[in-house]
Amino acid sequence: MKPIAFSKDERADATAKLRAYFRDELDQELGQLPAEMLLDFIGRDIGAVFYNRGLYDAQAVVKKKAEDIVEALYGLERGDR
């Protein structure tokens, strides 16, 4: 599987959120480099779980929409052929 790649802005935003979480919730200061390393770990070793959940959710939406389309098409059938 291709690793998750973040843009520079996405990385900056994510590491800022990690640092704020550690500070606010855990009363721990997390430096920039450790925050980036944690982000890399999450993306590499845990990110697939979140990614796959998103895929499963998207598949369910597409399946439901396809069923709705098929149902609508059957509704367009005419009795006289």
Q: pLDDT grade, residue 2 (50/70/90)?
A: confident
Give per-residue pLDDT as tens, 11-27.
999 999 999 999 999 99
Say what angle helices 8-26 and 32-41 make with each other, to 10 degrees. Answer: 110
| pTM for this prediction | 0.70
Three-class SS of the chain = CCCCCCCHHHHHHHHHHHHHHHHHHHCCCCCHHHHHHHHHHHHHHHHHHHHHHHHHHHHHHHHHHHHHHHHHHHHCCCCCC
| pLDDT tens digit sequence for 30-58 | 999 999 999 999 998 998 899 999 999 99
Token couple for 52? 């796959």
What is the domain partition of the chain in residue ranges?
8-75
